[in-house]
Amino acid sequence: MENRDRTFKTGESVSIAGEYESEAGKKMQYKEGDLFEACPATGNNTNWRRCLVQ
């Protein structure tokens, strides 16, 4: 089972497709195999967290 609190750094490979949120609160959709991008709000490296499906 995946740890929902896990964060992913810019440049890491996406293992589970879905919506992710940056530290600045910007959300992006990623597909499996994509690489996490820099934060769209700041342009800096960031940590991404998978959004929970409600």
pLDDT (tens digit per residue) in 29-50: 999 999 999 999 999 999 999 9
List Cα–Cα distances, 31 to 10, 13, 18, 20, 46, in angstroms: 15, 10, 7, 10, 18
Return the bridge partners of 52, or none. Answer: none
Quote the pTM value: 0.87
Residue ranges of the domains in the chain?
7-50
CA 10 to chain centroid, in Å, comes to: 8
pLDDT recorded at residue 1: 46
- Phi first, then psi: what are they for 9, rounded to 5°? -90, 155
What tens digit of pLDDT does each residue of 2-15 get?
Answer: 556 799 999 999 99
